[in-house]
Structure formats: structure tokens, C-alpha cells
Amino acid sequence: MKRKILNFAFSIVLLIAGMGFSYAQTDKPYTEGPLWQVQFVHIKPGMGDLYLKNLSDGWVKVMRAAEAAGLISDFKILTAQPSSENDWDLLLMYQLKNYAALDGLKDKMDAIRKKTLNTNDDTEHTQAISRNDLRVLQGGKLTQELDFK
């Protein structure tokens, strides 16, 4: 009987010690921060000013309205020198608080875009085709900030 009690007590001690060891292994030097949706854009030669005007008249207004509505936390446009003739030179990005903010985001953003720009599906389709004369979309990614302690 004493042996069973000792074995049980020893098992408890090992379990508790293992929990501490396990905790130490998962103690990360960072916390997971907000999300950033990024879009890589290559502006066609000679179309830079026209495309930036297009962004100012459309995308920027929609992002400001989405921020005011609480759908996004922030947005940015970054420019860079391309490393090759087909590399991106503009980065469009907006920040989301967390993954839950993605729920229903497309429909909410569509409604804000239509209201802000006073457009309908046909107009938006025509404008999207026109933008293809100014730029080439090179993909996008959903990224997450890491906030280091």
C-alpha cells in the first residue's frame, strides 16, 4: 500500500514538474499582434501618377470609411524601387484587429465601397477593367505582426 502511495505521489511530482517544463518551452519572446492584409502591385510604365490618383479617388476613400466604421484599424500605401522590371513597386495594406475581424468582412467592405463611391456592380466592374491598364496585381497575403517583449 505504501508503495502505491509513493508511486502516486511520485507521479504527481513528475506531472507538476513536467507542467513547469512545458510552460517554459512555450514561453515565446513575442505576442501575436494584429493582422495586415497586403496586396503587391506593379504599376505599368508611365502610369504612376494616374494610378496614384485612381487610388486617392477610390481605395483611400474606402479605407478611410472602413476605418471610421471600425472594420479596419489602419491602412498604408508603401512604395519601393522594384528589383526587376516585373517586381512590385507599390504595397497596399490594411490592418485588422484579429482573425475574428475577417468574419463577413468582404460583404461589409463591399457595402462601404458602394456607399462611399456611390457605385453599383456594373460601374465597379468597368472601373476594375480600366485599372488593369494602369497596373498588374501580383498577389497578396494575410500577415500577422509579432510584437516582441
| H runs (alpha helix) in the chain | 2-25, 48-57, 59-68, 105-117, 121-131
Q: Return the pLDDT at 104.
A: 97
Q: Return the pLDDT at 8.
A: 60
Sign of CA dihedral 135, 113, 105, 65: positive
Cα 31 from Cα 67, distance rounded (Å): 24
pLDDT digits (tens, 9 = 90+) for 92-117: 999 999 999 999 999 999 999 999 99
Q: Return the pLDDT at 120.
A: 86
Q: Please report the domains of the chain, with CATH numbers, ordered by start residue.
A: 31-148 (3.30.70.100)
**CB–CB of 135/27 below 8 Å?**
no
Q: Low-confidence residues of the chain, pLDDT below 70?
A: 1-26
Strands in 90-96's sheet, in edge-to-edge order, are 74-79, 90-96, 30-43, 135-148
